[in-house]
Structure 1
Amino acid sequence: MTMNRIRSITKWIRNPKLIIMLGEKNSVGIKMNQSIRQLSSAKTNEEKKVKTAILMLNMGGPKTIADVEPFLRELFLDNDIIKLPLQKWLGPFIAKRRTAKVAKKYSEIGGGSPLHEWTNRQGSLLIERLNQIRPNNGPYKYYIGFRYTPPTLSEAFKQIECDKPERVIAFSQYAQYCCNTTGSSVNQIAKYFQQQQQQKLSFHLSFIDRWPINSGLINSFTELINNELKQFPVNSSNEIILLFTAHSLPLNSVNVGDTYTMEVSSTVMEVMKQLKFRHPFRLVWQSKVGPVPWQAPATDDVIKGFIEKGYRNILLIPISFVNEHIETLHELDIEYCKELVENLPIKMIRRCPAPNDHPLFIDGIVQLIDEHLESGVDVSPQLLLQCPLCVKKVCKDTRLWLKELQNQQQQQ
């Protein structure tokens, strides 16, 4: 076929009159082509549809200074974390009173909490790896469900329901379970679905509620500690005290049988085992709020106590934090490592970073999700067990809902 002939045919095909004529006389063919395109598009959308949703649970934090008061208000209204008389009125009042002081702290670490950024980073790395190693359960998508700041748990579930995954894993970002943190999020999830009054969820829901001895958690902390130990003078290696500092909790929570203290201790012991117990260590507690008795000894008191006893080299390890918070960036770095020791006779005090996006840590949470998918366990026996001396109706109702959910899903 000559080039002139090809050009002639092309021109004929592009003739507007021909296109109109074809539109009138061959509408069936055009509709068929449209149907084929729609089927192809539907197939593409089906291929991209979320199969497994990972819901990352955490307390949340204010992104900006303007978010501080709403964050504190939600925090002080939650009697799972702080129980107050006349909480509906006293909670917002305390939040308003504390806003200026807390906002100043956030301004000193960059104007907001980095929690959202770190959670996004961890979530992205997590699903990237899961899509590689376990594609049969993919595509995966992570969602963030915070308790006290957007995106909230209810917002996350509304988005999940729109995406229509086959299963959802509620994944606590607290390695060590505590009724005040993970427990509060689980209670909120139960309330959300109880209010929906759904007889049956549209997806399979399971929970990862604790992972205190996860290999990635232990290995990442071990490597980070070893890196920090190298920063101390060589001749002081035998004089360094390791202070594993965890977020404290009120003694009334400890006394009802909360497992948090035990689980934090288990993380510490696993890390020290990896370190071959080469250094003296203690587990200490930080971030006390309010006048009620809290778990002790307090981190700042222990720092001062050891300095008074003649110790001059201290390493702080935020063992209950998997990413940076105001508690690490301000309380530990500024209030303790700078202001507290400014006029005290200490040679060196350092703070170990949180795992954040450390490769070993990401390895660990990928393995955790992978093993959870393989296990077939929707709700752990520990999560089903209410604390022995707990009398909260919300905790009882949550366990009843969890048992009912488990039974329904086992029968499917």
Structure 2
Amino acid sequence: MPHLVSPDPIRTDAAPYDAVLLLSFGGPEQPEDVLPFLQNVTRGRGIPDERLKEVGEHYYGFGGRSPINDQNRALLAALRESFAQIGLDLPIYWGNRNWAPYLTDTLREMAAHGIRRAVVIVTSAYPSYSGCRQYRENLADATAAVENAPAIDKLRHYANHPGFVGSFVESTAAALAELPEGSAIAYVTHSIPTAMNATSGPDGNGYVTWHLDVAAEITAELERRTGVSRRTDLVYCSRSGPPQVPWLEPDVNDHLEDLTAAGVPGVAVVPIGFVSDHMEVIYDLDTEARATAEKLGLPMARAATPGTDQGFVTMLRDLVVERAAAERGEQPERPCVGKLGPGWDNCRPDCCPALRRPAAGASAPADGSAHQASSDQTPPAAPSTAGPKDNA
């Protein structure tokens, strides 16, 4: 599939950057961490500890440990090895928004090491407030809090890069191979309030538009390979917040029921909204959705996320080289697939604005902003079926 193969970078000069920062959501690593972690995530929203403890039960079901930090450690190791393979001499640091290593502490360490300018890899691939702008706001706050903090540039959105799409092509093909002929594909991502989607990206509706474009590219490549057309849908998981607030639908579990009623013989669940198998994947899909499928008697196979797939890691490395070249005033090749073109290096000031959030204890507005999810979703403020979120 030549159009899904990333070209080798023309050069490995990293100037003007002297470091890379991997920025993620963070997650608890032991049972004692769960409540403090959830307090960090929901700080300022007035959510009582009793409710957070309820949400924390999903973490306790996995030993009180989110997989996200271990996945970031593995990604760090893979990136360092990939950098070394091409002689890209840049240190890679790691910071989180909501748990150790905290972003501010990491920037303080970078400043102590004399780092002046760094490029940041965010473990969120799509445009939205919580998947992009909120990270940029956190970076701005942390930079302001650290004396002599390095200047930071964020890589472009990479969901439609060949390295990301190609990884899902391979994992979706593997999942379909486990299923009966004629099985459908359910592309899954994190639900967000419809009002947040409406303001995502420079022109609005960017969150859904990017997902649909990525799904169409995966589908087209699989059809090109096999000559088989099949049903595909974009569905959602991890909805939270009060039921009267509209969020993106359908929910993956409702969709599985619809597929069964339609007589579909099986389904490949493909989590295109996620870069690794963190809590939304292992709980919302591998636990809840799989239980739904088993109850329905619907064969289901879940496609792997990119994680430390070589193509994905190479993509991240190449994006660092690409951004460095652009900052030097060059015109680097900007690989992408689909109809939308490559992501933008610099977001407009009005891109992906935050939804209004009421003061702690106030009733929720109709736009659902009191319960904003991130693509690393935050826990719900009111009882709901949604689990915790540490999507990065």
Whether 1:71 aligns to 2:37 is yes
Partners of 2:62 and 2:310 in 1: CA distance = 25
Residues 149-197 of structure 1, C-alpha deviations (whole Å, 9 max, x = no match): 111110110111111124311211111122113221210111223345x
Which of the numbers 209, 212, 235 marks the counterpart of 1:284? 235
Partners of 2:355 and 2:300 in 1: CA distance = 43
Show structure 2 runs of 5+ residues with no match: 1-16, 330-342, 358-392
Name the residue aligned to 1:151: 101
Write out aligned runs for 1:332-411 (5 A). Answer: 332-338=285-291, 340-346=292-298, 348-376=299-327, 380=344, 383-387=347-351
Which of the numbers 267, 276, 280 marks the counterpart of 1:314? 267
Residue 388 of structure 1 and its aligned partner are, at CA, apart by 7.7
The answer to whether the Cα contact below 8 Å between 1:312 and 1:345 also exists between their aligned partners in 2 is no
Show structure 1 runs of 5+ residues with no match: 1-50, 78-87, 394-412
Whether 1:122 aligns to 2:75 is yes
Residues 290-335 of structure 1, C-alpha deviations (whole Å, 9 max, x = no match): 1122111111111111111222301111111111111111110111
Residues 55-78 of structure 1, C-alpha deviations (whole Å, 9 max, x = no match): 11221111122211122222222x
RMSD over aligned Cα, in angstroms? 2.5
SS in 2 for 1:276: helix
Aligned residue-pair number? 318
Relative distance call for 1:90 and 1:211 in structure 2 (3 A) is same
Partners of 1:323 and 1:89 in 2: CA distance = 28
Amino acid paired to 1:345: G
Partners of 1:115 and 1:52 in 2: CA distance = 26
Name the structure with the higher helix share: 1
Relative distance call for 1:392 and 1:170 in structure 2 (3 A) is farther
Residues 71-106 of structure 1, C-alpha deviations (whole Å, 9 max, x = no match): 2222222xxxxxxxxxx3623x1xx23333333322
Which of the numbers 326, 351, 354 marks the counterpart of 2:279? 326
Partners of 2:27 and 2:313 in 1: CA distance = 22
Which of the numbers 178, 182, 199 marks the counterpart of 1:231? 178
Partners of 2:42 and 2:328 in 1: CA distance = 34
Partners of 1:146 and 1:294 in 2: CA distance = 26
- Share of identical aligned residues, percent? 22
Partners of 2:268 and 2:32 in 1: CA distance = 34
Amino acid paired to 1:144: W
Which stretch shows the higher mean deviation, 280-289 or 206-215?
Answer: 206-215
SS in 2 for 1:315: strand
The answer to whether the Cα contact below 8 Å between 2:19 and 2:92 also exists between their aligned partners in 1 is yes
Partners of 1:366 and 1:290 in 2: CA distance = 37
Name the residue aligned to 2:187: 244
Residue 345 of structure 1 and its aligned partner are, at CA, apart by 3.5
Name the residue aligned to 1:23: none
TM-score normalised by the chain length of structure 2: 0.75
The answer to whether the Cα contact below 8 Å between 1:209 and 1:383 also exists between their aligned partners in 2 is no
The answer to whether the Cα contact below 8 Å between 1:221 and 1:354 also exists between their aligned partners in 2 is yes
Partners of 2:36 and 2:61 in 1: CA distance = 19
Relative distance call for 1:289 and 1:388 in structure 2 (3 A) is closer
Relative distance call for 1:144 and 1:390 in structure 2 (3 A) is closer
Name the residue aligned to 1:186: 136
Name the residue aligned to 1:48: none
Amino acid paired to 1:294: W
Whether 1:104 aligns to 2:53 is no
Name the residue aligned to 1:211: 158
